[in-house]
Chain A
Amino acid sequence: MSRIARRIAAIALAVAGVAHAQGDARRSGFDFMSPATQAMQRDDTSNPAMLWVGDGEVLWRAAAGRAGKSCADCHGDAKTGMRGVAARYPSYDLTAARPLTLAQRVDACRVRHQQAPTLAPESRERLALESYVALQSRGMPIAPPDDARLAPYRERGEKLWRARVGQLDLACAQCHDAHAGERLGGSVVPQAHPTGYPIYRLEWQSLGSLERRLRGCLFGVRAQVPPAGAIELVELEVWLAARAAGMAVDAPGVRP
C-alpha cells in the first residue's frame, strides 16, 4: 500500500473510530437544548437561519464586482459544487499563507476572483453566503484536511483552549470539557463543538459566525478580545474542527 493510501486509510479509520465508536461521548450543542429550541432548528420552514440562507442563495447567483461574475459562474450549482466544502474548513490557503475560516475563504474568493469589495465580518451578505455554503454540508462529517501546514495552528489553538484567561481566569476546557452538561446559572454548558455554525443565536436575535461566538465567550470571561479576523481565533477554529472530527454538521443551527 502506498504511503498516501496508508495515511488516508489511517485517517478514515481514526475518523470512523472517533465518530462511531461506542462510548463516543461527543454531542452537538443541539443535544443540550430544550425540545422547543430543537424543534426550531429541525424545521426548515421556521428556522430563522433559513432567512439568511435564502439571501445566500440569491447572492450565489448574483453577478458581483468588476469581474461581473457570480459564484455560480465558476462553482455551478451550490448543491453539488459546495457539497462537503464547509465540513473541511478551516483550511490552509496558499495565497494568504495561513488557514482561513469558511467565511474568510468566501470573502477572499469575492475579492480575488470577482474583484468585489470585501464583506465585513458579521455583515448580512457574508453571513448569508456562509450559511448557504454551510447548509450544503449538513449531515456530513466534520473532516479537517490532513494537511501538515495546519498542525502548528491546531497546536496553538489547543494551547489557547487549555489556557486560563481573563479576569475570571478560566480556560475554555474548564467549562466545555470538564463541566459540559452541567449548568452555569440557568444555562446548560454545551461541549462547544462547531457543528452548527453559523448559528441563529436566540441571545443575539440574529445569525452569527463561530468567530462572533468565540469573541463573545472571551468577553464573558473578561479577557482581552482579539479583533475579528485575528489569527488566534482561526487557530481556535482549527483546533475545534479537529476536536469535532467525524461529528455531523448540523448547520445552520439554532442555539440559545
Chain B
Amino acid sequence: MSATRRRFLVAGAGLGVALIVRPAAATPEELAAAIAAYTGGAKVSPGRVSLDIAKLVDNGNTVPVVVSVVSPMTPSDHVKAIAIFNERNPERDVARFALGPRAGRAKVETRIRLATSQKVTAVATMSDGSFWSDTVDVVVVLAACLEGDI
C-alpha cells in the first residue's frame, strides 16, 4: 500500500478555502499500537461491544456512532470506560468515555469525523480489568462538488 498524500478543499465557516494536508497514510499497525497503549498491552477480545456505525456514510464530517456494551452495570460487574479509535485520521483517538455503575446502561452515542474510508474500533474496559472490542470498516467518500471561497 503506497503512502499517498491527498489534498482536498474544505469549505470553512467564513474561514475561506482551507486545505487539509494529511500526514502519510496511517497504518493498521498504528491503530493496534494506539489500542495497546490504551490497554497497557493487555489482551483485547472481540465481543460484548456493539459499534453501530453506517458502513457507507453520507459525509465524513459528521458520522453518528452508538457504542453499546452488554453488562449488568452493577457495582461488581460494570463497564468502566469506552474508547473509540480510528485507523486513518491524523490522530488515532476519537473519544474516551468514563462510565461506572451509576450509568445504569453502557450505551454512548456521539458524532465523529472520518477523513477517509477506514476501520473504527470501540474498546470497553470492564470492572474486572478485561477489555472487549468491536470494529467496523467504514466507507467514506468526499462530496461530489467541492466549494471554495465564495
- A–B contact, 8 Å CB criterion (strictly below): yes
In the assembled complex, 27 residue pairs joining A and B whose CB atoms fall closer than 8 Å, in A order, are A33-B58, A34-B54, A34-B57, A34-B58, A36-B54, A36-B63, A36-B64, A37-B58, A37-B64, A39-B64, A185-B141, A185-B143, A185-B144, A186-B56, A186-B142, A202-B58, A203-B59, A203-B61, A203-B147, A219-B145, A219-B147, A219-B150, A220-B145, A220-B146, A221-B145, A225-B150, A256-B58
Nearest Cβ distance between residue B109 and chain A, in whole angstroms? 8
Interface residues of B (CB under 8 A from A): 11, 13-14, 54, 56-59, 61-64, 139, 141-148, 150
Please give the number of chain A residues whose Cβ is less than 8 angstroms from any Cβ of chain B in the complex: 25
Q: In whole angstroms, what is the CA distance A36 to B109 when docked?
A: 12
With CB as the reference atom, state the residue of chain B lying closest to A39. Answer: B64
Contacts of B143 in A (CB 8 A): 185, 187, 203, 256
In the complex, the answer to whether A40 meets B64 with C-beta atoms within 8 Å is yes
A206 close to chain B: CB less than 8 A? yes
Apart from A187-B141, A217-B145: 10 A-B pairs, beta carbons within 8 A: A34-B58, A186-B144, A187-B144, A202-B61, A202-B62, A203-B147, A204-B11, A205-B13, A206-B13, A216-B150
Partner of B57, one of A36, A39, A205, A206: A36
A204 to B145, CA, bound (A): 12
Alpha-carbon separation in the docked complex, A216 to B150 (Å): 7
Query: Are A219 and B148 neighbours in the complex by a CB distance under 8 Å?
Result: yes
Question: In the complex the two chains form, what is the Cα distance from A217 to B56 in whole Å?
Answer: 23
Contacts of A256 in B (CB 8 A): 58-59, 143
Distance of A130 from chain B, by nearest CB (Å): 16
A220 touches B142 (CB 8 A): no
Beta-carbon nearest neighbor of A38 in chain B: B58
Which chain B residues border A225 with CB–CB below 8 Å?
150
Q: Chain B nearest CB: distance from A215 CB in Å?
A: 5
Q: Which of B13, B14, B54, B147 contacts A216 (CB 8 A)?
A: B147
| Beta-carbon contact of A220 and B57 below 8 Å | no
Cα-based distance from A205 to B63 in the complex (angstroms): 12
Residue of B nearest to A206 (CB): B13
The answer to the question of A122 belonging to the interface, with a C-beta cut-off of 8 Å to chain B, is yes
Query: Nearest chain B CB to A28's CB is how many angstroms away?
Result: 15
Most buried by A among B14, B61, B143, B145: B145
CB distance from A201 to the nearest CB of B (A): 8
A68 vs B49: C-alpha distance when bound (angstroms): 57
Q: In the complex, A39→B58 CA distance in Å?
A: 13
Question: How far is the CB of B51 from the nearest CB of chain A, in Å?
Answer: 13
- Determine whether A21 belongs to the interface, using a CB cutoff of 8 Å to chain B: no
Contacts of A122 in B (CB 8 A): 14
Shortest CB–CB separation between residue A123 and chain B, in angstroms? 9
- Hey, which chain A residues are within 8 Å of B13, CB to CB? 204-206
Contacts of A220 in B (CB 8 A): 144-147
Nearest B residue to A120 via CB reads B14
| Interchain CA distance A228-B63 in the complex, whole Å | 30
Rounded to whole angstroms, the CA-CA distance of A157 and B124 in the bound complex is 55
Q: A74 at interface (Cβ–Cβ under 8 A)?
A: no
* Residues of B with C-beta under 8 A to A221: 145
Instruction: State whether A205 touches B54 (Cβ < 8 A).
Output: no
Closest to B62 in A: A202
- The complex places the Cα of A187 from the Cα of B145 at a distance, in Å, of 9
The reply to whether the CB of A97 lies closer than 8 angstroms to some CB of chain B is no
Chain A residues within 8 Å of B64, by CB: 36-37, 39-40
Q: Can you list, as one digit per residue, whether each of A19-61 has a CB less than 8 Å from chain B (1) or not (0)?
A: 0000000000000011111011000000000000000000000
A81 to chain B, nearest CB (A): 30
Ranked nearest first, the 3 interchain pairs of A and B with the lowest CB-CB distance are A186-B141, A220-B145, A202-B59
Q: How far is the CA of A220 from the CA of B58 in the complex (A)?
A: 18
Interfacial chain B residues near A216, Cβ < 8 Å: 11, 145, 147, 150
